[in-house]
Amino acid sequence: MGNLDNANPIVFLATKERNVLPEEEDDIFTDKFDTREIFDLIRVINDPEHPLTLEELNVVEESKIKVDDDANAVHILFTPTIPHCSMATLIGLSIRVKLLRSLPSRFKVDVQITPGTHDSEQAVNKQLADKERVAAALENSHLLDVVNQCLARRATG
């Protein structure tokens, strides 16, 4: 294994499991998608470099997620731990793939780097927004393996 980009990252506390409200257990009500639900999906993704989740590294935050269930739109900003992080694209791709697998197809998902937190922000954003490039990346079995490792649950991965 080569040298790590950020060998000694700051670790943040993980949030607790979401409390289940009585109406969530009632069949009559319809629960809309909200930011916490999207956050719960992506906070458990493993970092490619460290045995920590994106939440523990503060790469993803609930406050940087926007969801509009009616307009079928999800917008996510993520923050690489350091401005020259070479893993930024991979992290973005993992978030994208996770949401591709976990959200209904009606949603349009935007994944971008928090403005001003990465040196090649524009290039990465462009790559992540390009559907064809994402699809092509997933054709590459090596890359898919790495993404799957990020998405595997920690107990098995």
The residues binding another protein (CB under 8 A) are: 20, 24-25, 27, 30-31, 37, 40-41, 101-106, 145, 148, 151-152, 156
The pair of structure tokens assigned to 18 is 């979401």
Return d(Cα 69, Cα 79) in angstroms, integer. Answer: 24
Residue 7 to residue 12: CA distance in whole angstroms = 16
For residue 44, the minimal CB distance to another protein (Å) is: 10
Q: How many CB atoms lie within 10 A of CB 91?
A: 28
Least distance in angstroms from the C-beta of 46 to another protein = 13
Of 96 and 118, nearer to another protein (C-beta) is 96
In the complex, least distance from residue 30 CB atom to another protein, rounded to whole angstroms: 4
Name 59's bridge partners.
none
Cβ nearer to another protein, comparing 65 with 85? 65
Smallest distance, another protein to C-beta of residue 61, A: 20
Q: Give 115 or 157: the residue with its C-beta nearer to another protein.
A: 157
Q: Is the alpha carbon torsion for 127, 128, 131, 136 positive or negative?
A: positive
Considering only CA atoms, which of 53, 33, 34, 37 is closest in space to residue 45?
53
